[in-house]
């Protein structure tokens, strides 16, 4: 999905328009995640870019775009650009250092 969303449309309530935009984005994510995974892939990952225009868009974490949308709405921005591109990914496991608790609290 590469799309510029208008936050102010004449004749539409801004709060309802914002909720409709968020709903559309959530539905896109659900639709992409339902697609069959290729071999050797564990999940669908997303490349995400956000900005007030396509030229000013910067790479962000996929979990942070809702906060950015809210910030744009609060700042009364007329529009924002969102790019979400699905890609198959494989989980990488990071070994954690074990922590031993010496207390015998039960």
Mutual angle of helices 65-74 and 14-34, in 10-degree steps: 170
* pLDDT over 80 at 100, yes or no: no
Host H or E run for residue 86:
strand 79-89
Q: Which pTM was predicted?
A: 0.80
* pLDDT over 80 at 67, yes or no: yes
Percent pLDDT > 70 in the chain is: 92
68-70-72 Cα angle (round to 5): 70
C-alpha span between 88 and 99 (Å, rounded): 33
* Predicted local confidence at residue 96, as pLDDT: 81
Q: What is the overall mean pLDDT for the chain?
A: 91
Q: How far apart are the first and last CA of the chain?
A: 52
Mean predicted confidence (pLDDT) in 22-47: 94
Please state the separation of Cα 61 from the chain's center in Å.
Answer: 7
């Amino acid at each position: 999905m590469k799309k510029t969303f208008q936050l102010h449309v004449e004749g539409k309530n801004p709060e309802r328009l914002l909720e409709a935009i968020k709903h559309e984005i959530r539905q896109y994510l659900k639709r992409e995640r339902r697609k069959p995974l290729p071999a050797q892939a564990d999940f669908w990952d997303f490349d995400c870019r956000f900005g007030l225009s396509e030229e000013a868009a910067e790479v962000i974490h996929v979990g942070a775009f809702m906060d950015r949308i809210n910030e744009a709405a609060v700042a009364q921005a007329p529009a924002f650009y969102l790019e979400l591109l699905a890609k198959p990914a494989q989980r990488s496991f990071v070994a954690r250092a074990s922590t031993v608790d010496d207390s015998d609290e039960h």
